[in-house]
Chains A and B, each alone.
Chain A
Amino acid sequence: MKTYDEVYQNVIQAANAHKRKMKKIQNAVSVSALCAGCVLGVGMFLKLERPMSRPSQTEATAATVTASKMTEMLHTSVFSPASSDAAEPTATISRQNEEIHTEPAPETENFPEFTSTANHDEKISTTSVTTIKAVPAAEILHSETGMTEETAVPATEQEKSTSVSTVRTTVKETSVTTVVTAAATETQTITEIPPVQTETVPAEELTEAPPEIFTEPTEQISEPEESGTTEEILDPTEEPIQTEPTEIEIFPENSTEAPTEAPTEAPTEYFSEPASSTESTEEPDDFLTPEEWKALFGETDRITISTDKIIPELSQTTYTTVIIPD
């Protein structure tokens, strides 16, 4: 049999053990809440890093696959020490006579957004046509001779079909833009990037852009514009998309229901037949003729009906009085 002291000691020990257990649980709950918060925060951060406008899912996955491969190859070629002079990641370029909507590509692995402002009057000394293969990130390569040897891509047919925007540098013009953008909406895949080759074109020939080089890439470049706010979308000549049908059928033909919102001008085709039905002089079959009434109820002109049998759901008997009009 236990003594008072034994009981007291047991009770105190049990109470302290319970207190320690609750503390452990509270700490575990707070740690798990912190971990959940961190995971959520990282997830939100990654979500925000993605671009706003996206291609379709298949296009995005194809672009992602190609982008990752291109990223690796270009990263080694572009960011090698020889091309470090041209690669100025923080500058921006505006293309002559054409604005290219550049967007960061989705899911690029640490590929920096790569722009360069060219002080073109100073830097341009030669005339060269360079076709530079696009990369997923919006990168802009400055087309100098030294750089183009490593980064420019020959304008072969195979390359034209890929996500490439060709850029031409001019000597005479003051502003020169060399832009290479990655069309995020490209669906075509690129397997390899051939070695860079440059073509020197005389300045006289540069006045007219060869159609072979610029037609397809311009088409390719214009595709991102379609996703942005460009003139094509805002063209007033285009008919807007009709969201509502031209003919709205609200009621069936023989419906007698009144519309919820009374129209200002009721179309006749909807309300002609119901209007005709209300004006009908024919009595419904449910009503009794005076002769039938007299046969059933006699000379009385009013009857009392208990509705409890007719409507069993009613909690109490209700009586209705029916008066026969003369």
Chain B
Amino acid sequence: MENGLDSYLRFLEGDQSALKTVVELYWDDMLLFTNGYVQNLSDAEDIAQEALIRLSIKRPRLVHENQLKAYLFKICRNLSINHLKKQKRHIDMSQELTENIEDDMQKIEARMELKDSAQALHHAMRKLKLEYREILYLRYFEQLTIPECARIMKCTERQATAVGYQARQALRKILEKEGYSIENI
């Protein structure tokens, strides 16, 4: 299966069907990442879809695969923050909706074929602060480098490194509370 960058380059040349490959490759990751911010799957879907729409409209010239991923995640992050600002004025949703969202999240995780340990991490990360969750997801789930994480989070590399260290420490404490044995966090 070709990587996302090759499909995107074909899309730039005029092959609209190549965009489907890009969607299949990055949709779930973007959804989980965005859901970490908004804590609402339907909103996360809208945000991730909007990120893909902006990619198809703007059509930036990218060279590396990680650049494409970083571009998508950066848009998702910015849109999520905007959404959170707007949502402060709105009423919290009912419990039924949260239960449905939990079911959907499990479906996504199953579709992504996440291991049990990874799923446990996901659940533990939801209890962390937003920036901790952000850096951990980008660094360890998406396998992005520190400079790319810093670009997405709009901070310096040193700040991204420091936040990553603090996030790992906080995650360790949460996992130890839940009874998990942690190695090399």
Contact = CB atoms under 8 A, between A and B. Distances in A.
A7 interface: yes
Contacts of B45: 1-2, 7
B41 A10 contact: no
Nearest to B55: A11
Contacts of A14: 53, 56-57
5 contacts: A4-B27, A8-B20, A11-B53, A12-B19, A15-B56
Contacts of A8: 19-20, 23
Interface of B: 16, 19-20, 23-24, 27, 41, 45, 48-49, 52-53, 56-57, 104, 107-108
Nearest to A12: B16
Given A11-B19, A12-B19, A4 B53 contact: no
A302 interface: no
B56 A11 contact: yes
A6 B104 CA distance: 16
Contacts of B57: 14-15, 18
Contacts of A5: 20
Nearest to B48: A7
A179 to B, nearest CB: 73
Interface of A: 1-2, 4-5, 7-8, 10-12, 14-15, 18
A10 B48 CA distance: 12
B23 A4 contact: yes
A15 B41 CA distance: 23
Contacts, number: 40
B20 A4 contact: yes
B60 to A, nearest CB: 14
A103 B19 CA distance: 73
A15 B20 CA distance: 14
A231 to B, nearest CB: 75
A1 B109 CA distance: 13
A194 B56 CA distance: 80
B27 A1 contact: no
Contacts of A15: 53, 56-57
Report which residue of A1, A4, A10 has the largest number of chain B beta carbons within 10 angstroms of its beta carbon.
A1
A2, A7, A14 — most chain B CB neighbours (10 Å): A7
Contact of A4 (B16, B24, B56, B107): B24
Given A4-B23, A4-B24, A11 B49 contact: yes
Given A1-B41, A18-B57, A10 B49 contact: yes
Contacts of B48: 7
B122 to A, nearest CB: 17
A1 B44 CA distance: 10
B17 to A, nearest CB: 9
Contacts of B24: 4
B16 to A, nearest CB: 6
B107 A1 contact: yes
A11 B108 CA distance: 20
A5 B19 CA distance: 11
A8 B45 CA distance: 12
A12 B24 CA distance: 14
Contacts of B108: 1
A7 to B, nearest CB: 5
A35 B41 CA distance: 50
Contacts of A4: 20, 23-24, 27
Most buried by B among A4, A11, A14: A11
